[in-house]
């Protein structure tokens, strides 16, 4: 080929290169977009998302867990290691288990503390997280130390000002056991209490054991990864809103990633479940907190919790918290409800005694992290010139960043908002791999 002919081909080659780059970029964008859809399992809103028979029934959930054995139920694995030890328990009303024989339950459910005492294990103290050992305290309510009425075992609060026990208590222990049902969201505070107690255990060289339980939102990994500049008790770790981990897997990550001081000193043991996988439909047998009374509330919680930083009610003070949504002035639906004072669940709920209008989500198939309701309500409030984010700092703590709130306020599209956290999600998914215990 002559030099003159080569000169004639150069523009043509340049055009081919540009076309190839455009095609490659578009293919990459499509892959990212596909990942966005898959990661959230979004249902169509508002029709089928707000009124559908597709929501799992309790019977469906129960049949799905027939072969499940909780960590606490694997007594043959851990009971012997507790004999002769001084044991502290981080427990609440969810710390119930069946006793198994040949992989079948042989008795009615029993609380972990009663099980251990029946085997003469020396339980010297119980630690009370948010909502208390018996789960009868509302969100943010003061948790007092004292004695458990049923067992007379001392109770030490680890919620509020003092998130770890006094040195005198830690020095009197050989092992601490964590056995509490989580719901798989970063802002649910039981995992924050676990973090602080792991820190205390590492400092005092007390062994730490996690009796693992299912994550009822375990199939989802979604939302912004926490920026440590926004670290708080409702978000302590650089993980997404929906992290897709059990408490046992998260404990392994906390130690493995050195998210606590003296992590190398912590003798951590996780007692795994049998028969568990991340997509298991797990209808919690005991409500994990007063305002998450059922499976539907647990599934809606990741999407509705952001409304806690807004002027909108999510049903605290009703019989269906985290299953309805509404306001007295801005109406996006015709469902009516009136928040009232409920001593244990919601002593002073938002919009107390006001008739509210909104949406009934009790049969919704909204799941994962769905921002559409949040964005729709923000748009409606803005149209009426009414402030929506009444606690912007709290919103940023829940989100683990201020970029989500600012994006909503600036009118960015849902697609762009979701795209903004995909890179961090990809890094997180890689980071968590060494700590996974279940498929």
**For strand 154-157 and strand 122-128, is the pairing parallel, antiparallel, or unpaired?**
parallel
Do 419 and 319 share a domain, yes or no?
yes
- State the pLDDT at residue 51: 42
Domain of 255: which CATH number?
A: 3.40.50.12170
Task: Say yes or no: 87 and 110 in one domain.
Answer: yes
pLDDT of 162 reads 87
Domain region containing 379: 44-58+291-429
Q: Which residues of the chain fall short of a pLDDT of 70?
A: 1-64, 100-106, 134-144
What is the per-residue pLDDT for 315? 98
Q: Look at residue 104 in the predicted model and tell me its pLDDT.
A: 61
**162 and 203 together in one domain:** yes
In whole angstroms, give the CA distance from residue 177 to residue 340.
37
Residues 319 and 266 in one domain: no
For tokens 């960015």, the residue is 412
Which of residues 263, 283, 303 is at a domain's end? 283
**Percentage of the chain lying above the pLDDT 70 cut:** 81
Could you tell me if 176 and 297 lie in one domain?
no
Which of 253, 283, 313 terminates a domain? The answer is 283
Q: Are residues 237 and 259 in the same domain?
A: yes
14 in a structural domain:
no
Q: Residue 104: phi, psi to the nearest 5? A: -130, 140
Backbone angles phi, psi at 333, to 5 degrees: 180, 170
Q: Which runs of consecutive H residues, i.e. helices, occur in 167-309?
A: 167-170, 190-204, 247-256, 295-304
Judgement on whether residues 311 and 329 belong to the same structural domain of the protein: yes
Q: Is 338 exposed, middle or buried (0-12, 13-18, 19+ CB in 10 A)?
A: middle
Q: Do 231 and 85 share a structural domain?
A: yes
In the prediction, which pLDDT does 284 show? 94
Predicted local distance difference test score (pLDDT) of residue 108: 85
User: Are 272 and 391 contained in the same domain?
Assistant: no
Q: For residues 366 and 49, what is the distance between their CA atoms, to the nearest angstrom?
A: 6
Distance set, CA 277 to CA 215, 245, 247, 282, 439 (Å): 9, 11, 14, 10, 5
pLDDT at 236: 98
Residue 23: other Cβ atoms inside 10 A: 10
What's the CATH number where 343 sits? 3.90.1150.140
* 21 located within any domain: no
If one counts the domains in the chain, the total is 2
Q: Which pLDDT belongs to residue 344? A: 82
**Are 265 and 298 part of one and the same domain?**
no
Output the pLDDT for position 434.
98
Give the predicted TM-score (pTM) of the model.
Answer: 0.85
Last residue of a domain, one of 240, 255, 283: 283
117, with CB counted inside 10 A (0-12, 13-18, 19+), is: middle
Helix (H) or strand (E) holding 124: strand 122-128
104 and 183 housed in the same domain: yes
pLDDT of residue 221: 98
The pLDDT value recorded for residue 47 is 35
Would residue 18 count as lying in a domain? no
* Residue 124 sits in the same domain as residue 237: yes
pLDDT of residue 129: 86
């Amino acid at each position: 080929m002559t030099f003159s002919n080569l000169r004639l081909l150069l523009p043509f080659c340049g055009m081919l290169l540009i076309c190839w780059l455009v095609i490659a970029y578009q293919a990459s964008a499509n892959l990212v977009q596909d990942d966005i859809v898959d990661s959230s399992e979004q249902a169509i809103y508002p029709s089928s998302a707000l009124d559908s028979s597709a929501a799992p029934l309790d019977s469906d959930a129960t049949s799905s867990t027939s072969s499940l054995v909780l960590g606490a139920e694997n007594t043959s694995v851990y009971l012997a290691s507790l004999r002769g030890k001084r044991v502290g328990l981080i427990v609440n009303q969810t710390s119930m288990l069946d006793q198994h024989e040949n992989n079948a339950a042989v008795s009615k459910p029993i609380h972990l503390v009663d099980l251990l005492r029946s085997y003469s294990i020396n339980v010297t103290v119980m630690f009370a997280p948010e909502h208390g050992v018996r789960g009868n305290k509302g969100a943010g309510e003061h948790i007092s130390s004292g004695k458990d009425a049923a067992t007379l075992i001392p109770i030490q609060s680890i919620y509020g000002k003092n998130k770890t026990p006094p040195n005198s208590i830690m020095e009197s222990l050989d092992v601490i056991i964590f056995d509490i049902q989580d719901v798989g969201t970063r802002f649910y505070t039981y995992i924050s209490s676990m973090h602080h107690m792991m820190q205390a255990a590492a400092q005092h060289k007390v062994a730490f054991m996690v009796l693992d339980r299912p994550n009822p939102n375990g199939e989802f990994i979604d939302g912004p990864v926490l920026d440590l500049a926004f670290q708080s008790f409702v978000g302590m770790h650089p993980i997404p809103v929906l992290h897709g981990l059990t408490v046992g897997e998260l404990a392994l990550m906390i130690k493995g990633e050195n998210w606590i001081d003296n992590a190398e000193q912590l003798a951590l043991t996780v007692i795994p479940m049998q028969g568990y996988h991340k997509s298991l439909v797990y209808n919690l047998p005991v409500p994990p907190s007063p305002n998450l009374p059922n499976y539907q509330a647990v599934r809606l919680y990741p999407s509705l919790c952001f409304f806690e930083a807004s002027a909108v009610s999510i049903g605290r003070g009703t019989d269906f918290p985290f299953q309805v949504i509404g306001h007295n002035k801005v109406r996006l639906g015709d469902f009516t409800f009136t928040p009232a004072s409920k001593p244990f669940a919601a002593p002073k709920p938002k919009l107390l005694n006001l008739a509210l209008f909104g949406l009934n989500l009790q049969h919704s198939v909204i799941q994962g992290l769905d921002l559409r309701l949040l964005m729709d309500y923000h748009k409606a409030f803005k149209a009426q010139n009414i402030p929506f984010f009444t606690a912007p700092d709290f919103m940023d703590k829940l989100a683990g960043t201020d970029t989500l709130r600012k994006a909503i306020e600036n009118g960015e599209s849902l697609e762009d908002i979701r795209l903004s956290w995909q890179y961090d999600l990809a890094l997180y998914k890689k980071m968590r791999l060494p700590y996974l215990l279940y498929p």
